[in-house]
Amino acid sequence: MADHLINGEFVAIPLKTLKSKKWRDLKGYSRAIFMTMATKYRRTGPDADGMVDWSQVDLIAESGVPSSTLKRGMKELKQKGFVVVWIPGGRWHSETTYDLTEYMDG
């Protein structure tokens, strides 16, 4: 295999997203949160429903942002349409199920 090929897992953000004004206008921490959320996104395979499940605790730990920053970032991602909540987390289901809308077009 050629040295320039990517080995292992990675997060792919569609080029149309990276070039969009909407993406460039996001705060840096919001982009970091979105990319962290995208690590669970699966386009193929048995878990390929396009949804990602995250608890607030795990998202804070994985993204490296404090709780208050996570809240601001999630608010921005929701308001700008990057993330849609499908199943809210709660007492009996600690993880929230999200749809990452930037992947919906394929």
For 55-77, how does the pLDDT look when each residue is reduced to its tens digit (9 = 90+)?
Answer: 999 999 999 999 999 999 999 99
Q: Which helix (H) or strand (E) holds 18?
A: helix 15-18
Reduced to 3 states (helix: H, G, I; strand: E, B; else coil), residue 17 is helix
| Domains within the chain, CATH numbers bracketed | 48-106 (1.10.10)
pTM: 0.81
Give the DSSP H or E segment for 77.
helix 67-79
pLDDT in tens, 2-15: 556 666 677 778 88
The owner of tokens 């995250």 is 54
Position of tokens 């749809």? Answer: 99
